[in-house]
């Protein structure tokens, strides 16, 4: 592994540049003269650069690197022992079972037992690794020509499609972002990806069940609508899971997590070391530069793992990231706004929503207290030129100046600043944990989360046989490459630094210490609630249990 190159604002040793250091003393003087830290509990500021172990630009420590290397080597050995590097193809689902079954995690073993069930298929939209896609469907989109008669057997007597929509019990997963995406080839065979529309129904028992799947954004004779009990239903669900993997990995995970965090990190590093926003955010940007550089070198490089294991490959990934950037909104990264916009506030058993809202509230309360210590009035936020340059840089380079995104290009008051900082901390900690930590759990059984698909989508229900399903699955070699990767990146390396730890916190003084203690107490209460809930669940949702949420994107 190589160390990250020097940032434009950093030296090769990770120290802030002279131009930045020169503003530190004046920054501290300004802060004191403006009264931002003149309360009895006011924080004491540090004038020196951050400790090396907190610098976000430094490479992983030697022990951290060694642990990652050992885990990667062990994963390769396991893959070879399972015969997943020997090429060939699957002859039956029995072949897949023989190669992939074995000791796993409790959740991965649950997946093996339940992956073909419609209820589990629906549950993954709520508590799987991409739990931010589902939207309430009040009106069918014009490109989903679904008739009452087609779904009546699924809904049962005494109701109708229209009635269920009006009651708010229908939801849509739309993969339009994947339409026409470039795809690659693996082992000399072309790969495919679909852009499905998947309609789900919240039944009287509180289960979220798929009731209709169209594998294209363009309806017509070659784009049938599949329904439960009809021909090709299992294959249609496989195509949705394949699309779900691509959208999750390349947009929800890579773009919304790693790439945005890098934009936050670069802009924050340009702030003077004594600026309160720099000191607040620094622990949440630890090792983000390094892990992103490793991703570019090993995953996104030509011939890298994305080219070896996914249907879209590097070219399709870059195209999808560009589409995702154009479609990104500020609201979808702010949990309360996102839940309201998608209309999913009352779905039972939506564990991601419940846990994310709790953690968002805890972060917001902590940030609100910190901001109040440094900015007594809204005008002080608006007049902070360094802060305005910081948010402007994120707007310009994070979302490419897209005003439709809703990202602020300036901050006019304390509430705006608190929300923006809460979003950054949540995205760099809890949101990444939600979309990263369960990857191996849900993908270890490959038919549940295929990274590539080797046959085109079926043009009719009649041709969608089990033989076609097996032939559509990714090859053993592609399966092995993906599982080797996910078995490494689903788990943090090095000593844990859970949310709220803030080791060697730069925000010193009675005020910040009091706020941090309250933050930690609130997180502890959330942990207790989640552990009690999970103990009662056949399929627990552990990924946002605060003690398991790392405070930065470092894997």
Contact 362, 526 (CB under 8 A): yes
For residue 87, the model assigns a pLDDT of 60
Poorest-pLDDT segment among 98-112, 308-322, 423-437, 489-503: 489-503
Angle at 314 between CA 310 and CA 316, to 5 degrees: 80
- pLDDT tens figures, 200-241: 999 999 999 999 999 999 999 999 999 999 999 999 999 999
Q: Cα–Cα distance between 441 and 110 in angstroms, integer?
A: 9
For residue 81, the model assigns a pLDDT of 53
- 554 pLDDT tier (thresholds 50, 70, 90): confident
For residue 421, the model assigns a pLDDT of 98
For residue 494, the model assigns a pLDDT of 67
pLDDT, the chain, mean: 87
Class of 21-132+248-457+501-548 per CATH?
Answer: mainly alpha
Q: Cα–Cα distance between 197 and 174 in angstroms, integer?
A: 5
For residue 13, the model assigns a pLDDT of 29
For residue 496, the model assigns a pLDDT of 83
Q: Cα–Cα distance between 75 and 466 in angstroms, integer?
A: 30
Percent of the chain residues topping a pLDDT of 70: 83
Is the model's pLDDT at 6 over the cut of 60? no
Neighbouring C-beta atoms of residue 156, cutoff 10 Å = 10
Tokens standing for 172?
A: 């849509």
- 78 pLDDT tier (thresholds 50, 70, 90): low
**DSSP conformation class of 198:** E
Contact 449, 486 (CB under 8 A): no
- pLDDT tens figures, 361-373: 999 999 999 999 9
End-to-end CA distance of the chain: 14
- 435 pLDDT tier (thresholds 50, 70, 90): very high
Domain chopping of the chain, boundaries: 21-132+248-457+501-548
For residue 31, the model assigns a pLDDT of 38
Give the pTM.
0.89
Tokens standing for 422?
A: 């809460």
CA atoms within 13 A on the CB side of 166: 5
Is the model's pLDDT at 11 over the cut of 80? no
Is the model's pLDDT at 122 over the cut of 50? yes
Q: Averaged over 323-341, what is the pLDDT?
A: 98
Q: Cα–Cα distance between 287 and 552 in angstroms, integer?
A: 8
CA atoms within 13 A on the CB side of 66: 4
For residue 99, the model assigns a pLDDT of 86
CA-to-CA dists, residue 441 to 251, 340, 355, 486, angstroms:
20, 29, 19, 9
């Amino acid at each position: 592994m190589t160390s990250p190159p020097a940032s434009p604002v950093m030296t090769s040793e990770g120290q802030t540049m002279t131009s930045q250091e020169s503003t530190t003393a004046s920054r501290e003087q300004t802060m004191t003269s403006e009264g931002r830290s003149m309360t009895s509990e006011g924080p004491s500021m540090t004038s020196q650069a951050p400790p090396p172990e907190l610098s976000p630009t430094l490479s992983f420590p030697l022990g951290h690197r060694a642990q990652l290397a050992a885990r990667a080597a062990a994963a390769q050995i396991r893959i070879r022992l399972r015969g997943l590097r020997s090429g060939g193809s699957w002859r039956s689902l029995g072949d897949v079972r023989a190669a992939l079954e074995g000791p796993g995690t409790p959740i991965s073993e649950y997946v093996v037992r339940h992956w073909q069930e419609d209820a589990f298929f629906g549950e993954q939209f709520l508590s799987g690794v991409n739990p931010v896609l589902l939207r309430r469907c009040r009106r069918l989109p014009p490109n989903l020509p679904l008739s009452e008669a087609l779904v009546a057997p699924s809904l049962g007597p005494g109701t109708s499609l229209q009635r269920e929509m009006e009651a708010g019990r229908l939801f849509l997963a739309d993969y339009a972002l994947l339409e026409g995406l470039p795809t690659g080839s693996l082992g000399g065979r072309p790969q495919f990806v679909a852009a499905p529309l998947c309609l789900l129904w919240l039944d009287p028992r509180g289960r979220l069940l798929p009731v209709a799947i169209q594998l294209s954004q363009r309806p017509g004779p070659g784009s049938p609508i599949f329904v439960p009990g009809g021909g090709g239903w299992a294959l249609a669900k496989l195509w949705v899971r394949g699309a779900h993997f691509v959208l999750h990995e390349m947009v929800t995970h890579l773009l919304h997590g790693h790439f945005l965090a890098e934009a936050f990190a670069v802009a924050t590093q340009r702030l003077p070391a004594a600026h309160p926003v720099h000191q607040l955010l620094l622990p949440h940007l630890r090792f983000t530069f390094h892990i992103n550089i490793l991703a570019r070198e090993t995953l996104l490089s030509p011939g890298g793992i994305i080219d070896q294991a996914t249907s879209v490959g590097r070219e399709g990934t870059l195209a999808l990231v560009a589409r995702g950037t154009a479609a990104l909104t500020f609201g979808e990264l702010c949990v309360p706004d996102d839940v309201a916009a998608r209309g999913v506030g009352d779905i039972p058993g939506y564990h991601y929503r419940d846990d994310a809202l709790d953690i968002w509230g805890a972060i917001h309360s902590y940030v609100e207290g910190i901001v109040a210590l440094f900015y007594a009035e809204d005008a002080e936020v608006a007049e902070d030129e360094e802060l305005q340059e910081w948010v402007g840089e994120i707007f310009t380079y994070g979302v490419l100046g897209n005003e439709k995104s809703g990202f602020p290009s300036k901050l006019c008051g304390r509430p705006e600043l608190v929300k923006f900082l809460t979003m950054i901390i949540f995205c760099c900690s809890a949101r990444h944990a939600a979309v990263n930590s369960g990857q191996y759990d849900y993908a270890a059984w490959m038919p549940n989360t295929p990274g590539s698909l080797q046959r085109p989508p079926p043009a009719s229900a009649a041709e969608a046989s089990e033989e076609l399903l097996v032939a559509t699955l990714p090859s053993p070699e592609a399966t092995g490459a993906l599982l080797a990767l996910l078995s490494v990146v689903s788990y943090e390396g090095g000593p844990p630094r859970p949310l709220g730890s803030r080791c060697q916190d730069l925000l010193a003084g009675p005020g910040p210490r009091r706020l941090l203690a309250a933050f930690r107490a609130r997180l502890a209460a959330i942990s207790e609630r989640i552990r009690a809930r999970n103990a009662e669940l056949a399929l627990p949702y552990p990924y946002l249990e605060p003690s398991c949420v790392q405070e930065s994107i470092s894997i």
